[in-house]
Amino acid sequence: MGIVPIWGFQLVTAIALAILLRLNKTLVIVAANISIPPMLPLILYGSLLTGSLWVGKQAIYPASMDDLSLAFVKLSLFQYISGAITLALIAGLAAGFFTYVFLQIFGRKRTTQKP
């Protein structure tokens, strides 16, 4: 939820989903805080690049991360929003997959009791 472009509502939405899906609220709060200032240029850049897949020939590519500005994002708003949602889905699925694999490898082994 930290990548989805619903600024100001990311944490509230993440907590509501954690309650609805019965997830660990502390872990959800920690994971939803990915959009901290040092990560924002990377998230913006990744969202614009991912969004270029949806827009096709009309895509606007930033020459570098230094070219990112609010005016640039406004110019390519659909590209950014579609890319941010796609990037959030990919990041969520990847995190879920790696967590599952990690728990399968290092999780406690269940023992079957013989009656």
- What pLDDT was estimated at residue 113? 65
Quote the CA–CA distance of 36 and 92 in Å, as a whole number: 17
Same domain, 31 and 87: no
Same domain, 63 and 14: no
> What distances in angstroms separate CA 49 from CA 34, 57, 90, one per listed residue?
18, 13, 13
- What pLDDT was estimated at residue 35? 75
pTM (predicted TM-score): 0.77
Residue 111 lies in a domain: no
Say yes or no to pLDDT of 114 above 80: no
Same domain, 29 and 78: no
Same domain, 77 and 94: yes
- What pLDDT was estimated at residue 111? 64
**How many domains does the structure of the chain reveal?**
2
Count of other CB atoms within 10 angstroms of residue 50: 21
Q: At 115, is the pLDDT very low, low, confident or very high (cuts 50, 70, 90)?
A: low
